Amino acid sequence: MTTSTYQEQVYTLVKMIPRGEVASYGMIASLLPGVTARMVGYAMAASVNEPDLPWHRVINSQGKMSIPGGTERQVAKLLDDGVSLTKSNRVSFKIYRWNGPSQDWLEQNSVEIADFMTIKAGWP
């Protein structure tokens, strides 16, 4: 998997996260064979100036922002999306967790529903 290919796959998934929901780096990585949460983090850090990519909807598994130097901007964008944060600037996955990619994406990527449900069970 080339760098651009993995980044394109990450960006395709991130574009599916609707306003008012968030995903963790690990959630995105769990859907892409051979991709780690760290790789998703690198892709997100490289995309903060992409106007059509909701990079701010991807956070760490503790519900915190991890983009170096971009926390204030990310918080502002999340608040704009209707996502509330705790006093310690955390997002509750119980409230705002993304439900995952579309059925079409799962089918196009040969992910069986049973496999997806197993993957999703490991999400925060």
* pLDDT score at 2: 52
97 has which bridge partners?
A: 22
**pLDDT confidence band for 79 (50 / 70 / 90):** very high
> Cβ(70)–Cβ(48) under 8 Å?
yes
| The pLDDT of residue 66 | 86
Confidence of residue 4 (pLDDT cuts 50, 70, 90): low
Q: What is the pTM of this model?
A: 0.92
Check residue 3 and give its pLDDT: 53
The tens digit of pLDDT for each residue in 102-120 reads: 999 999 999 999 999 999 9
Distance CA 21, CA 18 (A): 6
pLDDT tens, position by position, 12-65: 999 999 999 999 999 999 999 999 999 999 999 888 788 899 999 999 999 999
HEC-encoded secondary structure of 31-95 = CCCCCCHHHHHHHHHCCCCCCCCCHHHEECCCCCCCCCCCHHHHHHHHHHCCCCCCCCCCCCHHH
The answer to whether 13 touches 99, Cβ cutoff 8 Å, is no
Residue 118, CB-side half-sphere exposure with 13 Å CA sphere: 5
Instruction: Give dist(CA 55, CA 73) in Å, integer.
Output: 11
Would the pLDDT of 69 be above 90? no
What domains can you pick out in the chain, each with its CATH number? 3-116 (1.10.10.10)
Mean per-residue pLDDT, 95-104 = 97
